[in-house]
Amino acid sequence: MVNNLASYQSFDFIFSTVVLRVSLAISMDAFTNLDAMDETTSVEVKSFFDSAPLLKDANSIIRKLTQFIDHNSSLSGIEGPRRVVCVTSGGTTVPLEQRCVRYIDNFSSGHRGATSTEYFLKAGYSVIFLYRRGTCQPYCRSLPDDLLLECFELTDDSCIKVHESHSEAVKRAISGHHAAVSGGFLLKLPFTTIFEYLQILKLTAMSMKILGPSAMFYLAAAVSDFYVPWESMAVHKIQSASGPLDMRLAQVPKMLSVLRKEWAPAAFCISFKLETDKDILLEKADKALRRYKMNAVVANELSTRKEVVILVTNSGKVSVYRENDHADVESPLIKLLVEKHSSYIKEINA
Ligand code: 9Z3
């Protein structure tokens, strides 16, 4: 969870050179009784939101969500009303200071979320893309990182034109993105911190509640497990003169149960389970499926995440592979999930 990605920033806080002793505020052993866990969770969820810093632009986010849901709920789609999926993408940060200089980051390039968004749009879904600022964007996957400098060139008469080698990729990106946005099928909402992510997820879920089973959550974002509560966070930059840093992180409440039970109870919910140790991956995915009553859990291992994922549902486990080295594993994955979503809608409406 604490990773060295932070080292690419210009900040002077480099995790590999600082001893960060993490003591967990809550032990998982406390959660042996599920009812007790539910009660503990709802108290923690309330206190998380009560103490979180106010979400900037909350009114503008609510307005965009309302317009988007109004528009899409009036449209028809595959076998019924148009389906809407909330795709979360990228990692959340945990600030260590209120005037933040240092933070803990969660690994995710955003490739999974951006690619999946394209396949959902292609399958006739509308997408609320809740993404970490600066991560991979739908339709931009095949563009170089240094977009402006590599894709464009100056002509002799000082005009700007797209470099021949990138012209197909640029055309595809512009037309795909334009079609999705101008049709009102793609809404992009950015986040950075765990506080922003969970507050926007809550607003999104509550606005999607009216869609009933036509709503889907595809939670591919890498969400922090531990955080520093806002009220106990240092206001100013932590000083390094006093030696090694010793801090206590609280556990982020398990929002999946609240999403499932309160925010959007009829939605089709897919969460992701990421592990680096393949021996515990499936056991952890099974646990998440049961504990949070997900409709499916996508289990993936960090090193092979672009080649294979395992779809875990109540009816078993299916390995999903990409078709070849140049294909996206998200293509067969989204196809399978769309089928499962269709069966779910039929079952609910029967
Ligand atoms: C994933 O497992 C995603 O597939 C990846 C995608 C983050 C691995 P990239 O963005 O990678 O294409 O580079 N996301 C969920 C990760 C996560 O934090 N899951 C939590 C957990 O495993 C549950 S919400 O405990």
Distance CA(195)–CA(230), nearest Å, equals: 9
* Least trusted range by pLDDT, from 23-27, 98-102, 330-334: 23-27
pLDDT of residue 41: 78
pLDDT one-digit tens code per residue, 136-183: 999 999 898 888 888 999 999 999 999 999 999 999 999 999 999 999
pLDDT one-digit tens code per residue, 257-271: 999 999 999 999 999
Residue 61 near residue 203 (C-beta atoms within 8 A): yes
Give the strand pairing for 76-77 and 80-81: antiparallel
Task: State the number of CA atoms in the 13 A half-sphere of 9 facing the CB.
Answer: 17
Give the strand pairing for 126-132 and 186-191: parallel
Q: What is the DSSP string of 52-115?
A: SPPPTTHHHHHHHHHHHHHHHHTSEETTEEPPEEEEEESBPEEESBSS-S-EEE----SHHHHH
Mean pLDDT of the region 318-345: 98
Burial class (CB within 10 angstroms; exposed 0-12, middle 13-18, buried 19+) of 335: middle
194 Cβ below 6 A of ligand 1: no
Confidence of residue 88 (pLDDT cuts 50, 70, 90): very high
pLDDT of residue 131: 98
Q: Which residue lies with its CA nearest to atom 21 of ligand 1?
A: 273
Q: Which ligand 1 atom is at minimum distance from the Cα of 135? A: 10
- Residue 1 above 60 pLDDT? no
Q: How far is the CA of 37 from the centre of ligand 1 (A)?
A: 24
Confidence of residue 12 (pLDDT cuts 50, 70, 90): very low
Q: How many CB atoms lie within 10 A of CB 290?
A: 11
Bridge partners of 34, per DSSP, are none
Q: Which residue lies with its CA nearest to atom 14 of ligand 1?
A: 220
Among 272, 282, 283, 305, say which to mutate for ligand 1: greatest number of ligand atoms within 8 Å of CB: 272
Q: What b/e readout covers 146-183, taking b as 16+ CB neighbours within 10 angstroms?
A: eeeeebeeeeeeeeeeeeeebeebbeebeebbeebeee
pLDDT one-digit tens code per residue, 188-224: 999 999 999 999 999 999 999 999 999 999 999 999 9
71 Cβ below 6 A of ligand 1: no
Give CA angle at 75 (69, 81), nearest 5°.
90
Domains and CATH numbers, the chain: 4-140+180-349 (3.40.50.10300)
Q: Which ligand 1 atom is at minimum distance from the Cα of 112? A: 12
Write the single-letter amino acid at 326. Answer: H
Q: How far is the CA of 47 from the centre of ligand 1 (A)?
A: 25
pLDDT of residue 35: 57
Give the containing element (helix H, strand E) for 40: helix 34-51
Q: Which residue lies with its CA nearest to atom 6 of ligand 1?
A: 112
ipTM at complex level = 0.96
The pTM score is: 0.89
- Residue 299 above 90 pLDDT? yes
Mean pLDDT of the region 248-261: 94
**Helices 58-73 and 194-208 sit at what angle, rounded to 10 degrees?**
30
Q: Which ligand 1 atom is at minimum distance from the Cα of 106? A: 18
Distances 32 to 29, 47, 171, 291, 293 between C-alpha atoms, Å: 6, 22, 54, 11, 17
Q: How far is the CA of 243 from the centre of ligand 1 (A)?
A: 34
